[in-house]
Structure 1
Amino acid sequence: MSSKIFESRKLSKAEIKFRNAFERLKKNKPELLPKGTSLSQNNVAKEAGVDPSALRRSRYPELVHEIQKWLEAHKEVKTERSQRQVMLGQRSNNRDLRKRIETLTAQRDNALSRVLEAEYLIIQLNLENKSLKSRLPPIDISRFNDSNF
C-alpha cells in the first residue's frame, strides 16, 4: 500500500491511513470492510483499522470536510445493499405477507361462515313457508273467475 501525497504539508501516519482508506472506499476496493460498504466518516475510520471516534473534525478538519464534500457530491448514487440487508428486507417482506395472508384467511373464513348461516336460514324459512302453505285450506279459484273484475 503506497501512501499518496495529498498536500505539501506533512501528514501524520494516522491521517495517511485515513486518506488511503477514504480512497479505497471511493474505489469500492476496501481491505477490511466488505465490498460494497457505503462511504461514510465512520466507515473510513473502520477501513483504516481504528475506532470511528478517532476520525474527528477537530483533529482532521480538512479530511472530514473532503469526506463530507464527496458524500454531498455523490448523494444520488445508490449504493448496493449488502447480502444481509437484502436478506433482512426479504424477511420483513415475507413477515408482512404472512400477516396479510392470515388476515385475508380470517376474513375469508368469516365471510364463508356468514354465507353458510344465510343459506341455513334460507333453508329454514323455505321449510317453514312450505309447512305454513300446507296448513292453509285450498283456495277455490272458480270464485275469482266468476266475479266482475
Structure 2
Amino acid sequence: MTQNTETAEDNYRAAFERLKQGQSNVVPRGTPVTQNNVAREAGREPDAFKKTRYPALIREIQAHIEISAQHKEIKNKRRERRHERQDLVTKAQRYKKQRDEAQSRLVSAHRAVLTLLREKAELQRRLDEYLPPLSPLWNS
C-alpha cells in the first residue's frame, strides 16, 4: 500500500511539473495549474487528490497558484503600462501631425496674404497712374 501512495504522489508531482512547464499530456496545453487539473493530468479523479493524503504537494500547488496569480497581476500591470505608453506615443504622433498641418495652413495663409498685398500695391500703382495729381487746393 505504501508503494501505491508513493507512485500516486509521484504521478501527481510529475503532472504538476508538466502543467507548470505548459507541456501537459492529458489536459490541453496551457491549462492553468489547479489541484483538479493536476489530478486530471495525472490520469486520476480530482476527488482522489486530497489534502489529507498529499498535504505537502497540495501546499506546493497552492503556493505555485498564488505566486502565479501575483506574477500574472504584475504582467498585466506591465502590459497596461505598455499600452498606455503606446497610446501616449500614438497621441503624440497625432498631435505632431495636427501641428504640422496647422503650420502648413498658416504658411499658406501668409503666402496668400503677401500675394494679395503685392496685388493691392500693383493695383494701387496702376490706379495712381490714371489719376491726375492732387492740386494744392485739395491738400488744405
- What TM bracket, shorter-length normalisation? 0.3 to 0.5
Q: If the length of structure 2 is used for normalisation, what is the TM-score?
A: 0.47
Query: Which structure shows the higher helix fraction?
Result: 2
Alignment TM-score, normalising by the size of structure 1: 0.44
